[in-house]
Structure 1
Amino acid sequence: MPKSLKQVLSQIEKLQKEAESLRTKEISGVVARIREAIDHYGLTPEELFGASVKTSGRRGRAAKAGIAGKPGRKAAGQRGVAGRASMGSPKYHDGAGRTWTGVGKRPNWFKDALAAGKKAEDLLIR
């Protein structure tokens, strides 16, 4: 008996959820191994990413001094040190590198994930 479009779409959705779950598990394992190595060797952000990196309190992203090799110019969305607020530690992630501390307005990627049927618990960083 041939499958209906509805059955195929349901199967695709199920496989996508399974793939995202596997990806999340793999990422958490990789992150754990990286953190262990960082702790073991006492590495700093400068040693990992170079001397031109400024830490901004956000994991996975680094604020660079300038754009296109032009010192003094800042990339869109970058603020000076005086305007930078403490961001806190990320609490949620989407598996694609985007994080949210759980404080303030919900980011669009978080709202989209909830609309797609995920629960906030599924997006927690473990």
Structure 2
Amino acid sequence: MNINLAPLSIKELEQLIADANTLIERKKAESIRNAKAKVEKIAADAGVSIEELLGLTTGASGAGGKVRKPAAVKFRHPQNESLTWTGRGKRPNWLQDELAKGEKLEDFAI
């Protein structure tokens, strides 16, 4: 598609750009509406909600995915019982400091 824009003035070109941007936004919105309608139809044909179709919920419970239970505390500081570690993730600073002093990890096991 070749459109000769050379004879247009700056004002006309700016208006053309503005009109094109407006049209682009309208077409994007229309495309989204059409896609949403298709997804809604597919979900309805399957007898599920869009959320279930996309895996955002699991059936009637409404819970999405698996929920991980908090880990039990496996290590505790002997003098300060508020300092704990589950054994998951990076070792806390207090435990690293104690191990650097020569303590053993087993000394902090619960």
Give the TM interval when normalised to the shorter protein. 0.3 to 0.5
Higher helix share: 2
Greater relative CO, 1 or 2 (CA 8 Å, sep 6+) = 1
TM-score w.r.t. length of structure 2: 0.40
